[in-house]
Amino acid sequence: MLYHCVIEQEGEEYIAQFPDMPNVVTCGFSREEALLMAKEALDGVLAVEIARGNPVPPPSFQGGHPVSVAGHIAVALQLRELRGDKSQTEIARKLGLSYQAYQRLENPQRANPTLKTLEKIAGAFGKELSVTIR
């Protein structure tokens, strides 16, 4: 999962902003440092917003610099998207999990699903698990 940031120089600093996530702004003393800080800021804000149950806008802006979302955060976002308007309780029952166990899967600060668990979840939604290592 990728979000794209725009980096602009302001004086001696480079400011990185995400058009899809206007509350994520950071800076660095070089473009490279600003890009590293942008990834850290994006992952941090996404993890907190997901854990709080807040909606997260999907990536749509395609300009600037691509920044990949940490895997555990991307999994939580994709689970929320797959669940749609169904409750966590409904999905937990469908998977044969307790509500609390499923709830942890959607919380990137607490989740650590195995590949077998992810395969089971994908199957329950009629999807196939696709793993890409970059």
**Contact of 121 with 81, CB cutoff 8 Å:** no
| 3-state secondary structure at position 53 | coil
Among the listed residues 31, 34, 22, 27, the one whose alpha carbon sits nearest the alpha carbon of residue 61:
22
Interval 26-70: pLDDT, tens? 999 999 999 999 999 999 999 999 888 899 999 999 999 999 999
Task: Quickly state the pLDDT bin for 4 (edges 50, 70, 90).
Answer: very high
Q: How confident is the model at residue 129 (pLDDT cuts 50, 70, 90)?
A: confident
3-state secondary structure of 28: strand
- Which domains does the chain carry? 2-68 (3.30.160.250), 71-124 (1.10.260)
What is the rounded average pLDDT of the residues 68-82?
91
Q: What does pLDDT average to over the chain?
A: 92
Task: Report the candidate in 24, 23, 37, 28 with the shortest Cα–Cα distance to residue 8.
Answer: 28
pTM recorded for the entire structure: 0.83
